[in-house]
Amino acid sequence: MSSNLDRARSYEGKVGKQIPDGQKCVFHLTPEVGWMNDPNGFSLYRGEYHLFYQYHPYSSVWGPMHWGHQKTRDFIKWEQLPCALAPDTEYDGQGCFSGSAVEHEGKHILMYTGVLDRVEADGSHTIRQTQCIAVGDGVNYEKLSANPVITADALPEGSSGEDFRDPRIWKEGNTFYTAVGSLGSDGSGQIALFSSQDAEEWRFESILDANGKRYGKMWECPDFFPLDGKQVLIVSPQFMRAEGLEFHNGNNSIYFVGTYDREKRSFLRGEARSVDCGLDFYAPQTVETEDGRRVMVGWLQSWDNYMTPEDFLWSGMMTIPRELEIREGRLIQNPVRELENYRQKEVSCKGIRLSEQQGSLELDGIRGRVLDMIVEADVSRSASFTIHLAVGEGCETTISYEKEKGTFTTDRTCSGLKKDLLCTRSMYVDTKEGKLKLRLLLDKYTVELFVNDGEQAMTSLIYTPLEAEGISFSCKGETVLDITKYEIVLS
């Protein structure tokens, strides 16, 4: 073990104990201590699901990237494991960036981007991103002496050596494949495909897809997988311009449903769509479960709106893992079914008639900050319908439907923020014969909304005081509600 890795492990074990009990989320993965961003290495290994993540243990802001590590059997209860990778070689001394993992012959293979960033003797600045391998047993990992196993020299002429990262590794039969994001000769994103028989010597196969300056610039964190007879490519573009409500400015996560020609190693994509329309979602990664489901998790935070309270010794969390399927050409996502095993204290309110004259309506037993709530709303006679969350302490966050615009909007303006941050985001929604079905997950600081059985998702952070547990409902016109709420309890 290198001194850098040993130091990181000692630090996280010591300082993690200083975090107050009850401060962290209940059923969302958070780091032991320090900063967390992109999920990495989401994989099945020896019957357990491992999730690594970009990690800087020494502060609650981004720094030289390590790999944090946790595992689970059911995607809800997570076990903290020691830091898996630290920047400690020449080729990754300035960071072990994002990557992925696969099980092979009893070993756990991690593939990640190593970052070299140095000033040369002549004053010039060298930045290189290369792809590297570490092999381990689920706790300890050894970097290959052959690293880096892929350099930018293997890319088509004109491709960038500075922006070449985030390998997504998988196996088909006896062959390893990896899809890696890079900048092409036109200065926009492309996804390069490589193959290998041993995960050490790699051959360039093709450019799976290229941005063509259409969706942002660099395509980060690619994921490429079959689902329901189709092929899905997920990428996270940087420096993207908004296009109506479908995409937003800055860092997005988008997906394409298409077909994959394995002989030509080419992907024919369909229309681009947002993975999640909320304020805080980036860099999702998927795993195939033992029972054949495709499960996705994303980083529940934003690069452009840092909100972590100043007294927190940790920053960042992951979304609830979500089961994916294709329905009518769209990616459908719903919380993993295992979450239902932790539901307690059901409260059901049926046929609640809500009118504009009532103002904001509270219901007995419908409150809390750690919950799973299903709301079925007949909005056929409503001009608007609003759910008020985390109400109290002078705060609230709202999720509102507006019929004329056909939109849902999350608004955290009054959630307790003391900085001028982006607070609203909207998405178009379709009613089903005048009805909406909503599923809301709250976990202290998280709001995850799933609309119409997973047709759309909207994920956002709120750092409202935890004492603010009120929930109420209001509308313009008339709305009829069926509400079922559960507490989520991990015993």
Contact 437, 334 (CB under 8 A): no
Name residues whose C-beta falls within 8 Å of residue 109's C-beta, 6 or more positions apart in sequence: 101, 102, 103, 133, 134, 135, 169, 199
Instruction: Give the Cα separation of 172 and 274 in Å (integer).
Output: 28
Residue 221's H or E segment, with its range, is strand 219-227
Contact 319, 28 (CB under 8 A): yes
Cα 406 versus chain centre, distance: 26
Contact 72, 287 (CB under 8 A): no
Name residues whose C-beta falls within 8 Å of residue 357's C-beta, 6 or more positions apart in sequence: none
Name residues whose C-beta falls within 8 Å of residue 191's C-beta, 6 or more positions apart in sequence: 179, 180, 181, 182, 207, 208, 209, 210, 219, 222, 224, 233, 235, 267
User: What is the DSSP secondary structure assignment for residue 18, as one 8-state letter?
Assistant: G
Instruction: Give the Cα separation of 21 and 77 in Å (integer).
Output: 17
- Active site residue ranges: 38
Name residues whose C-beta falls within 8 Å of residue 445's C-beta, 6 or more positions apart in sequence: 25, 317, 461, 462, 463, 464
Render the burial of 142-159: b for 16+ CB within 10 Å, e for the rest. ebeeebbbbbbebbeeeb
Write the burial class of residue 356 (CB in 10 Å: 0-12 exposed, 13-18 middle, 19+ buried).
middle
